[in-house]
Structure 1
Amino acid sequence: MKLQAAIDRRSLQETIELAKKLDPIVDIVEIGTSAIKDFGFAALKNLKSEFHHAEILFDIKTNDEGDYEFKSGYKAGADILTVMGAMDLSTLKKTYQVSQDFHRDMFIDLMAMKNQQIAPLMKFNQAIFGLHHSHDSSSNFDATDSVAKFHETYPSASRIAVAGGIDLKSAAALSKQNLTEIIIVGGAISGADDPVQSAKKFMEVIK
Protein backbone atom coordinates (compact mmCIF):
# COMPACT_ATOMS: atom_id res chain seq x y z
CA MET A 1 0.00 0.00 0.00
CA LYS A 2 1.16 3.52 -0.81
CA LEU A 3 0.68 6.68 1.20
CA GLN A 4 -0.33 9.84 -0.65
CA ALA A 5 -0.08 13.05 1.36
CA ALA A 6 -2.23 15.91 0.10
CA ILE A 7 -1.15 19.53 0.51
CA ASP A 8 -3.82 22.23 0.23
CA ARG A 9 -4.58 25.80 1.23
CA ARG A 10 -1.05 27.00 1.93
CA SER A 11 1.14 29.66 0.39
CA LEU A 12 3.30 28.69 -2.58
CA GLN A 13 6.46 28.73 -0.45
CA GLU A 14 4.83 26.64 2.28
CA THR A 15 3.50 24.17 -0.29
CA ILE A 16 6.91 23.66 -1.88
CA GLU A 17 8.74 23.44 1.45
CA LEU A 18 6.32 20.87 2.87
CA ALA A 19 6.36 18.86 -0.36
CA LYS A 20 10.15 18.59 -0.18
CA LYS A 21 10.02 17.59 3.49
CA LEU A 22 7.52 14.82 2.72
CA ASP A 23 9.37 13.59 -0.37
CA PRO A 24 11.70 11.14 1.44
CA ILE A 25 8.90 9.76 3.62
CA VAL A 26 5.69 9.24 1.65
CA ASP A 27 5.13 7.46 -1.66
CA ILE A 28 3.16 10.21 -3.38
CA VAL A 29 2.97 13.94 -2.69
CA GLU A 30 -0.29 15.45 -3.87
CA ILE A 31 -0.40 19.09 -4.82
CA GLY A 32 -4.08 19.68 -4.10
CA THR A 33 -6.67 21.37 -6.25
CA SER A 34 -6.56 24.62 -4.29
CA ALA A 35 -2.80 24.89 -4.81
CA ILE A 36 -3.12 24.14 -8.52
CA LYS A 37 -5.79 26.82 -8.86
CA ASP A 38 -3.88 29.35 -6.76
CA PHE A 39 -0.46 28.94 -8.38
CA GLY A 40 -0.80 27.05 -11.67
CA PHE A 41 1.60 24.73 -13.46
CA ALA A 42 4.16 27.45 -14.11
CA ALA A 43 4.90 27.95 -10.42
CA LEU A 44 5.21 24.20 -9.76
CA LYS A 45 7.00 22.93 -12.85
CA ASN A 46 10.43 22.70 -11.19
CA LEU A 47 9.24 20.85 -8.09
CA LYS A 48 9.70 17.36 -9.53
CA SER A 49 13.38 18.03 -10.27
CA GLU A 50 13.93 18.64 -6.55
CA PHE A 51 12.38 15.32 -5.52
CA HIS A 52 14.45 12.21 -4.85
CA HIS A 53 11.87 9.61 -3.83
CA ALA A 54 8.15 10.34 -4.04
CA GLU A 55 5.94 10.63 -7.07
CA ILE A 56 4.00 13.87 -7.58
CA LEU A 57 0.27 14.05 -8.21
CA PHE A 58 -1.36 17.24 -9.42
CA ASP A 59 -5.03 17.13 -8.46
CA ILE A 60 -6.27 19.09 -11.46
CA LYS A 61 -9.71 17.43 -11.61
CA THR A 62 -9.95 17.77 -15.38
CA ASN A 63 -13.51 18.25 -16.63
CA ASP A 64 -12.88 19.17 -20.27
CA GLU A 65 -10.00 19.83 -22.67
CA GLY A 66 -8.47 16.57 -21.48
CA ASP A 67 -5.75 16.40 -24.11
CA TYR A 68 -4.45 19.90 -23.39
CA GLU A 69 -4.66 19.75 -19.60
CA PHE A 70 -3.00 16.35 -19.28
CA LYS A 71 -0.17 17.21 -21.67
CA SER A 72 0.42 20.45 -19.77
CA GLY A 73 0.35 18.69 -16.40
CA TYR A 74 2.80 15.98 -17.39
CA LYS A 75 5.14 18.52 -18.99
CA ALA A 76 5.02 20.44 -15.68
CA GLY A 77 6.41 17.36 -13.93
CA ALA A 78 3.40 15.42 -12.66
CA ASP A 79 3.64 11.65 -12.44
CA ILE A 80 -0.10 11.36 -11.84
CA LEU A 81 -2.99 13.59 -12.94
CA THR A 82 -6.66 13.48 -12.00
CA VAL A 83 -9.76 13.56 -14.16
CA MET A 84 -13.37 13.56 -12.99
CA GLY A 85 -15.04 10.29 -13.87
CA ALA A 86 -18.47 11.89 -14.28
CA MET A 87 -17.34 13.86 -17.31
CA ASP A 88 -17.98 13.04 -20.96
CA LEU A 89 -16.43 9.72 -21.88
CA SER A 90 -14.56 11.36 -24.75
CA THR A 91 -12.64 13.48 -22.23
CA LEU A 92 -11.53 10.39 -20.32
CA LYS A 93 -10.51 8.67 -23.54
CA LYS A 94 -8.26 11.62 -24.34
CA THR A 95 -6.71 11.85 -20.89
CA TYR A 96 -6.12 8.10 -20.83
CA GLN A 97 -4.39 8.19 -24.21
CA VAL A 98 -2.15 11.06 -23.10
CA SER A 99 -1.26 9.20 -19.90
CA GLN A 100 -0.29 6.16 -21.97
CA ASP A 101 1.73 8.27 -24.39
CA PHE A 102 3.66 9.89 -21.52
CA HIS A 103 3.98 6.60 -19.60
CA ARG A 104 2.41 8.25 -16.56
CA ASP A 105 -0.68 7.52 -14.48
CA MET A 106 -4.26 8.72 -14.74
CA PHE A 107 -6.35 8.94 -11.57
CA ILE A 108 -10.13 8.83 -12.13
CA ASP A 109 -11.97 10.67 -9.37
CA LEU A 110 -15.26 8.85 -8.77
CA MET A 111 -16.75 11.47 -6.47
CA ALA A 112 -20.57 11.35 -6.37
CA MET A 113 -20.78 8.78 -9.16
CA LYS A 114 -23.36 5.97 -9.39
CA ASN A 115 -22.63 2.40 -10.48
CA GLN A 116 -24.23 2.83 -13.88
CA GLN A 117 -21.85 5.74 -14.52
CA ILE A 118 -18.77 3.89 -13.28
CA ALA A 119 -19.20 0.68 -15.28
CA PRO A 120 -18.12 2.17 -18.66
CA LEU A 121 -14.87 3.38 -17.08
CA MET A 122 -13.57 -0.14 -16.51
CA LYS A 123 -12.15 -0.07 -20.03
CA PHE A 124 -9.39 2.20 -18.67
CA ASN A 125 -7.77 -0.80 -17.06
CA GLN A 126 -4.47 0.84 -16.12
CA ALA A 127 -6.06 3.84 -14.44
CA ILE A 128 -6.24 4.45 -10.70
CA PHE A 129 -9.84 4.52 -9.50
CA GLY A 130 -10.28 6.98 -6.66
CA LEU A 131 -13.07 6.54 -4.12
CA HIS A 132 -13.35 10.11 -2.95
CA HIS A 133 -15.69 11.25 -0.21
CA SER A 134 -16.70 14.85 -0.78
CA HIS A 135 -15.16 17.44 1.54
CA ASP A 136 -18.51 19.25 1.65
CA SER A 137 -20.61 16.16 2.31
CA SER A 138 -22.25 15.76 5.70
CA SER A 139 -22.70 11.98 5.33
CA ASN A 140 -20.51 9.47 7.12
CA PHE A 141 -17.83 7.61 5.18
CA ASP A 142 -16.56 4.11 5.95
CA ALA A 143 -13.44 3.70 3.83
CA THR A 144 -12.98 -0.05 4.25
CA ASP A 145 -16.65 -0.75 3.53
CA SER A 146 -16.57 1.49 0.45
CA VAL A 147 -13.48 -0.27 -0.87
CA ALA A 148 -14.95 -3.72 -0.22
CA LYS A 149 -18.17 -2.87 -2.07
CA PHE A 150 -16.29 -1.30 -4.98
CA HIS A 151 -13.98 -4.30 -5.29
CA GLU A 152 -16.93 -6.70 -5.24
CA THR A 153 -18.75 -4.72 -7.92
CA TYR A 154 -15.70 -4.06 -10.11
CA PRO A 155 -13.19 -6.90 -9.55
CA SER A 156 -11.30 -5.91 -12.71
CA ALA A 157 -10.33 -2.56 -11.17
CA SER A 158 -6.97 -3.56 -9.75
CA ARG A 159 -5.82 -0.08 -8.74
CA ILE A 160 -7.94 1.50 -6.01
CA ALA A 161 -7.27 4.70 -4.08
CA VAL A 162 -9.39 6.04 -1.25
CA ALA A 163 -9.71 9.50 0.29
CA GLY A 164 -11.93 11.13 2.86
CA GLY A 165 -11.00 11.72 6.49
CA ILE A 166 -8.46 8.89 6.64
CA ASP A 167 -6.89 8.63 10.12
CA LEU A 168 -4.46 6.13 11.63
CA LYS A 169 -7.24 3.74 12.63
CA SER A 170 -8.82 3.64 9.18
CA ALA A 171 -5.38 3.44 7.55
CA ALA A 172 -4.59 0.35 9.62
CA ALA A 173 -7.93 -1.21 8.67
CA LEU A 174 -7.35 -0.54 4.98
CA SER A 175 -3.87 -2.03 5.18
CA LYS A 176 -5.24 -5.18 6.80
CA GLN A 177 -8.01 -5.38 4.18
CA ASN A 178 -5.32 -5.41 1.46
CA LEU A 179 -7.51 -4.21 -1.41
CA THR A 180 -6.32 -0.61 -1.70
CA GLU A 181 -3.23 0.52 -3.62
CA ILE A 182 -3.19 4.11 -2.30
CA ILE A 183 -4.58 5.80 0.78
CA ILE A 184 -4.85 9.56 0.56
CA VAL A 185 -4.35 11.59 3.72
CA GLY A 186 -4.89 15.34 3.84
CA GLY A 187 -5.43 17.21 7.08
CA ALA A 188 -4.13 14.43 9.32
CA ILE A 189 -0.69 15.03 7.80
CA SER A 190 -0.52 18.51 6.26
CA GLY A 191 -2.65 20.00 9.03
CA ALA A 192 -0.74 18.33 11.86
CA ASP A 193 1.57 20.27 14.18
CA ASP A 194 4.42 18.16 12.81
CA PRO A 195 3.48 16.89 9.33
CA VAL A 196 6.71 14.92 8.96
CA GLN A 197 6.18 12.95 12.16
CA SER A 198 2.54 12.38 11.28
CA ALA A 199 3.53 11.02 7.86
CA LYS A 200 6.02 8.68 9.51
CA LYS A 201 3.29 7.33 11.81
CA PHE A 202 1.04 6.62 8.82
CA MET A 203 3.88 4.87 7.02
CA GLU A 204 4.51 2.67 10.06
CA VAL A 205 0.83 1.71 10.19
CA ILE A 206 0.46 0.79 6.52
CA LYS A 207 3.85 -0.82 5.90
Structure 2
Amino acid sequence: MNIQVAIDRVTLEQAKVLTEQLNTADIIEIGTSLTKDYGLACVHELLPYKGEAKLLADIKTIDEGAYEFRQYFEAGADILTVMGASAVATLDSCYEVTQDFGKEMLIDLLECSDEKIAKISHYPDAIYSLHFSSDAGGEHDVVKALQEFTQKFPTIRRLALAGGLTAKSLEELKHTPLEIGIIGGAVTKADEPKEALNRIIEVIKG
Protein backbone atom coordinates (compact mmCIF):
# COMPACT_ATOMS: atom_id res chain seq x y z
CA MET A 1 0.00 0.00 0.00
CA ASN A 2 1.14 3.54 -0.78
CA ILE A 3 0.64 6.37 1.66
CA GLN A 4 -0.79 9.70 0.52
CA VAL A 5 -0.61 12.62 2.96
CA ALA A 6 -3.14 15.41 2.44
CA ILE A 7 -2.03 18.93 3.31
CA ASP A 8 -5.04 21.18 3.76
CA ARG A 9 -6.24 24.45 5.29
CA VAL A 10 -2.79 25.96 5.86
CA THR A 11 -0.89 28.84 4.32
CA LEU A 12 1.38 28.22 1.35
CA GLU A 13 4.43 28.80 3.54
CA GLN A 14 3.20 26.23 6.05
CA ALA A 15 2.50 23.84 3.16
CA LYS A 16 6.11 24.16 2.01
CA VAL A 17 7.37 23.21 5.47
CA LEU A 18 4.97 20.25 5.72
CA THR A 19 5.78 19.05 2.19
CA GLU A 20 9.49 18.99 2.99
CA GLN A 21 8.88 17.26 6.33
CA LEU A 22 6.55 14.65 4.85
CA ASN A 23 8.12 13.91 1.47
CA THR A 24 8.97 10.35 2.55
CA ALA A 25 5.30 9.60 1.83
CA ASP A 26 4.60 8.07 -1.58
CA ILE A 27 2.25 10.91 -2.52
CA ILE A 28 1.92 14.46 -1.22
CA GLU A 29 -1.59 15.80 -1.73
CA ILE A 30 -2.09 19.51 -2.25
CA GLY A 31 -5.52 19.70 -0.64
CA THR A 32 -8.53 21.33 -2.24
CA SER A 33 -8.30 24.37 0.04
CA LEU A 34 -4.75 25.08 -1.18
CA THR A 35 -5.71 24.71 -4.83
CA LYS A 36 -8.57 27.16 -4.25
CA ASP A 37 -6.54 29.62 -2.20
CA TYR A 38 -3.45 29.66 -4.42
CA GLY A 39 -4.36 28.11 -7.76
CA LEU A 40 -1.56 26.88 -10.00
CA ALA A 41 1.00 28.66 -7.82
CA CYS A 42 0.64 26.01 -5.13
CA VAL A 43 1.98 23.38 -7.54
CA HIS A 44 4.88 25.55 -8.74
CA GLU A 45 5.80 26.52 -5.18
CA LEU A 46 5.68 23.02 -3.68
CA LEU A 47 7.57 21.18 -6.42
CA PRO A 48 11.03 21.93 -4.96
CA TYR A 49 10.04 20.42 -1.59
CA LYS A 50 8.41 17.14 -2.65
CA GLY A 51 11.54 14.99 -2.91
CA GLU A 52 10.77 11.63 -4.54
CA ALA A 53 7.06 11.80 -3.66
CA LYS A 54 4.45 12.25 -6.35
CA LEU A 55 2.47 15.48 -6.17
CA LEU A 56 -1.31 15.20 -6.30
CA ALA A 57 -3.47 18.30 -6.68
CA ASP A 58 -6.95 17.66 -5.32
CA ILE A 59 -8.71 20.01 -7.73
CA LYS A 60 -11.99 18.01 -7.67
CA THR A 61 -12.80 18.84 -11.29
CA ILE A 62 -16.53 18.67 -12.06
CA ASP A 63 -16.58 20.42 -15.46
CA GLU A 64 -14.09 21.99 -17.91
CA GLY A 65 -12.11 18.78 -17.45
CA ALA A 66 -9.60 18.97 -20.29
CA TYR A 67 -8.71 22.60 -19.54
CA GLU A 68 -8.22 22.13 -15.80
CA PHE A 69 -6.24 18.93 -16.17
CA ARG A 70 -3.99 20.38 -18.84
CA GLN A 71 -3.27 23.47 -16.74
CA TYR A 72 -2.33 21.53 -13.61
CA PHE A 73 -0.31 18.86 -15.40
CA GLU A 74 1.65 21.57 -17.21
CA ALA A 75 2.28 23.18 -13.82
CA GLY A 76 3.94 19.96 -12.63
CA ALA A 77 1.28 17.87 -10.85
CA ASP A 78 1.65 14.09 -11.18
CA ILE A 79 -1.91 13.13 -10.22
CA LEU A 80 -5.17 15.09 -10.50
CA THR A 81 -8.65 14.44 -9.14
CA VAL A 82 -12.00 14.52 -10.89
CA MET A 83 -15.37 13.93 -9.27
CA GLY A 84 -17.12 10.71 -10.21
CA ALA A 85 -20.35 12.70 -10.15
CA SER A 86 -19.16 14.57 -13.26
CA ALA A 87 -20.64 13.94 -16.68
CA VAL A 88 -19.09 10.94 -18.41
CA ALA A 89 -17.90 13.33 -21.13
CA THR A 90 -15.91 15.24 -18.48
CA LEU A 91 -14.34 12.06 -17.17
CA ASP A 92 -13.53 11.01 -20.74
CA SER A 93 -11.76 14.30 -21.45
CA CYS A 94 -9.82 14.19 -18.16
CA TYR A 95 -8.71 10.64 -18.89
CA GLU A 96 -7.63 11.53 -22.42
CA VAL A 97 -5.51 14.45 -21.21
CA THR A 98 -4.03 12.27 -18.45
CA GLN A 99 -3.03 9.63 -20.98
CA ASP A 100 -1.54 12.30 -23.26
CA PHE A 101 0.66 13.58 -20.41
CA GLY A 102 1.57 10.09 -19.19
CA LYS A 103 0.30 10.97 -15.72
CA GLU A 104 -2.45 9.75 -13.38
CA MET A 105 -6.11 10.50 -12.71
CA LEU A 106 -7.95 9.83 -9.45
CA ILE A 107 -11.75 9.60 -9.57
CA ASP A 108 -13.32 10.77 -6.30
CA LEU A 109 -16.42 8.62 -5.69
CA LEU A 110 -17.92 10.89 -3.03
CA GLU A 111 -21.73 10.59 -3.14
CA CYS A 112 -21.64 8.34 -6.23
CA SER A 113 -24.37 5.71 -6.45
CA ASP A 114 -23.55 2.13 -7.40
CA GLU A 115 -25.29 2.79 -10.72
CA LYS A 116 -23.00 5.75 -11.47
CA ILE A 117 -19.86 3.87 -10.41
CA ALA A 118 -20.78 1.02 -12.76
CA LYS A 119 -21.21 3.56 -15.54
CA ILE A 120 -17.72 5.03 -15.03
CA SER A 121 -15.78 1.87 -14.16
CA HIS A 122 -14.13 1.50 -17.58
CA TYR A 123 -10.96 3.61 -17.20
CA PRO A 124 -8.26 0.93 -16.77
CA ASP A 125 -5.45 3.18 -15.52
CA ALA A 126 -7.55 5.45 -13.30
CA ILE A 127 -7.45 5.33 -9.51
CA TYR A 128 -10.90 5.11 -7.90
CA SER A 129 -11.16 6.63 -4.43
CA LEU A 130 -13.75 5.71 -1.83
CA HIS A 131 -14.26 8.92 0.08
CA PHE A 132 -15.97 9.31 3.44
CA SER A 133 -17.04 12.94 3.72
CA SER A 134 -15.46 14.98 6.51
CA ASP A 135 -18.60 17.14 6.63
CA ALA A 136 -20.82 14.10 7.19
CA GLY A 137 -18.71 12.91 10.14
CA GLY A 138 -19.43 9.62 11.88
CA GLU A 139 -17.54 6.34 12.19
CA HIS A 140 -16.89 4.07 9.22
CA ASP A 141 -15.93 0.42 8.96
CA VAL A 142 -13.36 1.00 6.24
CA VAL A 143 -12.39 -2.66 5.85
CA LYS A 144 -16.01 -3.69 5.36
CA ALA A 145 -16.59 -0.79 2.94
CA LEU A 146 -13.61 -1.84 0.85
CA GLN A 147 -14.65 -5.51 0.82
CA GLU A 148 -18.17 -4.60 -0.30
CA PHE A 149 -16.81 -2.32 -3.01
CA THR A 150 -14.47 -4.93 -4.48
CA GLN A 151 -17.29 -7.47 -4.56
CA LYS A 152 -19.56 -5.06 -6.43
CA PHE A 153 -16.92 -3.78 -8.83
CA PRO A 154 -14.34 -6.53 -9.41
CA THR A 155 -13.02 -4.94 -12.62
CA ILE A 156 -11.80 -1.81 -10.80
CA ARG A 157 -8.22 -2.67 -9.92
CA ARG A 158 -6.72 0.59 -8.57
CA LEU A 159 -8.30 1.64 -5.29
CA ALA A 160 -7.72 4.49 -2.84
CA LEU A 161 -9.54 5.32 0.37
CA ALA A 162 -9.91 8.65 2.15
CA GLY A 163 -11.71 9.84 5.25
CA GLY A 164 -10.64 9.54 8.86
CA LEU A 165 -7.91 6.95 8.34
CA THR A 166 -5.53 6.32 11.23
CA ALA A 167 -2.51 4.08 11.83
CA LYS A 168 -4.89 1.50 13.36
CA SER A 169 -7.26 1.39 10.39
CA LEU A 170 -4.34 1.33 7.93
CA GLU A 171 -2.95 -1.68 9.80
CA GLU A 172 -6.27 -3.44 9.17
CA LEU A 173 -6.19 -2.45 5.49
CA LYS A 174 -2.63 -3.36 4.60
CA HIS A 175 -3.48 -6.89 3.50
CA THR A 176 -6.38 -5.77 1.28
CA PRO A 177 -6.18 -4.75 -2.43
CA LEU A 178 -6.05 -1.07 -1.40
CA GLU A 179 -3.37 0.71 -3.45
CA ILE A 180 -3.43 4.11 -1.68
CA GLY A 181 -4.34 5.02 1.88
CA ILE A 182 -5.04 8.75 2.13
CA ILE A 183 -4.36 10.29 5.52
CA GLY A 184 -4.61 13.90 6.60
CA GLY A 185 -5.07 15.31 10.07
CA ALA A 186 -3.67 12.23 11.84
CA VAL A 187 -0.31 13.33 10.40
CA THR A 188 -0.52 17.03 9.57
CA LYS A 189 -2.19 18.02 12.87
CA ALA A 190 0.14 15.93 15.01
CA ASP A 191 2.60 17.74 17.29
CA GLU A 192 5.40 16.09 15.29
CA PRO A 193 4.06 15.42 11.78
CA LYS A 194 7.21 13.70 10.54
CA GLU A 195 7.22 11.32 13.51
CA ALA A 196 3.52 10.58 12.98
CA LEU A 197 4.17 9.75 9.32
CA ASN A 198 7.14 7.55 10.21
CA ARG A 199 4.98 5.53 12.59
CA ILE A 200 2.41 4.98 9.82
CA ILE A 201 5.08 4.01 7.30
CA GLU A 202 6.46 1.49 9.83
CA VAL A 203 2.97 0.01 10.28
CA ILE A 204 2.34 -0.28 6.54
CA LYS A 205 5.75 -1.14 5.16
CA GLY A 206 7.49 -2.65 8.18
* Runs ≥4 residues deviating over 4 A: none
CA distance in 1 between counterparts of 2:90 and 2:67 reads 10
- Equivalent residue, structure 2, for 1:9: 9
Cα RMSD over matched residues?
1.1
Q: Residues 52 and 17 from structure 1, CA distance in 2 versus in 1: closer, same or farther, beyond 3 angstroms?
A: same
CA distance in 1 between counterparts of 2:40 and 2:125 reads 25
Q: Following TM superposition, by how much is the alpha carbon of 1:140 offset from its aligned partner in structure 2, in angstroms?
A: 2.7
Work out the number of aligned pairs and report it.
205
CA distance in 2 between counterparts of 1:51 and 1:8 reads 15
CA distance in 1 between counterparts of 2:170 and 2:137 reads 21
CA distance in 1 between counterparts of 2:44 and 2:91 reads 24
Q: Percent identity?
A: 42
Instruction: Give the residue type in structure 2 aligned to 1:61.
Output: K
CA distance in 2 between counterparts of 1:48 and 1:139 reads 35
Q: Following TM superposition, by how much is the alpha carbon of 1:187 offset from its aligned partner in structure 2, in angstroms?
A: 0.3
CA distance in 1 between counterparts of 2:145 and 2:183 reads 16
Within 5 Å, which residues of 2 pair with 1:58-207? 58-176=57-175, 178-207=176-205
CA distance in 2 between counterparts of 1:198 and 1:82 reads 26
CA distance in 2 between counterparts of 1:155 and 1:75 reads 33
CA distance in 1 between counterparts of 2:46 and 2:136 reads 32
- Equivalent residue, structure 2, for 1:32: 31
Deviations 1:10-29 (A, max 9, x none): 11100111112111x11000
Instruction: Give the residue type in structure 1 aligned to 2:46.
Output: L
Instruction: Give the residue type in structure 2 aligned to 1:204.
Output: E
- Equivalent residue, structure 1, for 2:40: 41
CA distance in 2 between counterparts of 1:99 and 1:57 reads 13
Deviations 1:93-136 (A, max 9, x none): 00000000000000000001110010011111110000000011
Instruction: Give the residue type in structure 2 aligned to 1:170.
Output: S
Q: Following TM superposition, by how much is the alpha carbon of 1:156 offset from its aligned partner in structure 2, in angstroms?
A: 1.1
Structure 1, unaligned runs of 5 or more: none
CA distance in 1 between counterparts of 2:17 and 2:67 reads 28
CA contact under 8 A between 1:109 and 1:130: conserved in structure 2?
yes
Instruction: Give the residue type in structure 2 aligned to 1:11.
Output: T
Q: Following TM superposition, by how much is the alpha carbon of 1:146 offset from its aligned partner in structure 2, in angstroms?
A: 1.0
Deviations 1:42-90 (A, max 9, x none): 2431422443210010000001000000001111111000000011110
CA contact under 8 A between 1:132 and 1:163: conserved in structure 2?
yes
CA contact under 8 A between 2:3 and 2:181: conserved in structure 1?
yes
- TM value normalised by structure 1: 0.96
CA contact under 8 A between 1:46 and 1:76: conserved in structure 2?
no
CA distance in 1 between counterparts of 2:17 and 2:43 reads 12
